[in-house]
Amino acid sequence: MHNPRHLTPVALDADWRDQLRSVISDGASLLKELQLSPADVGLSEEACADFALKVPRAFVRRMQAGDPRDPLLRQVLASTDELVAAPGFGPDPTGETGSANPRAGIIHKYRGRLLLVVASGCAVNCRYCFRRHFPYSDNRNSRREWQDALDYVRDDASISEVILSGGDPLVAEDDHLAALCQDIAAIPHVQRLRVHSRMPVVLPDRVTADLLDALSPPGVQTVMVVHSNHANELDQSVGRAFGRIRERGMTLLNQAVLLAGVNDSEDALVALSESLFAHGALPYYLHLLDRVQGAAHFEVEALRARELHAGITARLPGYLVPRLVQEIAGEAAKTTLPALPRKA
Question: How many domains are there within the chain?
Answer: 2
Query: Is 48 assigned a ligand-binding role in the annotation?
Result: no
In 3D space, the residue among 170, 193, 268, 203 whose CA is nearest the CA of residue 54 turns out to be 203
User: Domain range spanning residue 159?
Assistant: 98-336
- Pairwise CA distance, residues 120 & 172, whole Å: 9
Q: What pLDDT does residue 13 have?
A: 53
Residue 91: inside a domain: no
In 3D space, the residue among 219, 101, 94 whose CA is nearest the CA of residue 160 turns out to be 219
> Which domain-ending residue is among 31, 49, 83?
83
Residue 175: inside a domain: yes
Same structural domain, 74 and 114: no
Q: What pLDDT does residue 245 have?
A: 98
What CATH number is given to the structural domain containing 131? Answer: 3.20.20.70
Same structural domain, 196 and 268: yes
> Which domain-ending residue is among 39, 60, 83?
83
Same structural domain, 77 and 110: no
In 3D space, the residue among 235, 157, 155, 144 whose CA is nearest the CA of residue 190 turns out to be 157
Q: Give the three-class secondary structure for 161.
A: strand
Residue 168: inside a domain: yes
Residue 271: inside a domain: yes
Q: What pLDDT does residue 142 have?
A: 83
Same structural domain, 313 and 194: yes
CB-count exposure of residue 328 (10 Å: 0-12, 13-18, 19+):
middle
Same structural domain, 134 and 245: yes
Q: For the chain, percent helix, then strand, then coil, each to nearest 5?
A: 40, 15, 45
Same structural domain, 210 and 243: yes
Residue 88: inside a domain: no
Spatial CB neighbours of 280, under 8 Å, sequence gap ≥ 6: 239, 242, 243, 245, 246, 252
- Pairwise CA distance, residues 106 & 98, whole Å: 11
Same structural domain, 70 and 111: no
Same structural domain, 199 and 287: yes
Longest dimension (CA), the chain: 62
Q: What pLDDT does residue 136 have?
A: 87
Q: What pLDDT does residue 135 have?
A: 87
Query: Is 122 assigned a ligand-binding role in the annotation?
Result: yes
> Which domain-ending residue is among 58, 83, 108?
83
Q: What is the pTM of this model?
A: 0.93
Residue 299: inside a domain: yes
Same structural domain, 53 and 136: no
| Cis upstream peptide for 167 (omega within 30°) | yes
Q: What pLDDT does residue 343 have?
A: 67
Residue 53: inside a domain: yes
CA distances from 67 to 33, 37, 62 (A): 12, 11, 12
In 3D space, the residue among 180, 190, 189, 240 whose CA is nearest the CA of residue 215 turns out to be 180
What average pLDDT values come out for the chain (344 residues) when binned by 10 residues?
42 78 95 94 92 96 97 96 94 92 93 95 95 88 88 97 96 96 97 98 97 97 98 98 97 98 98 98 98 96 98 97 95 93 67
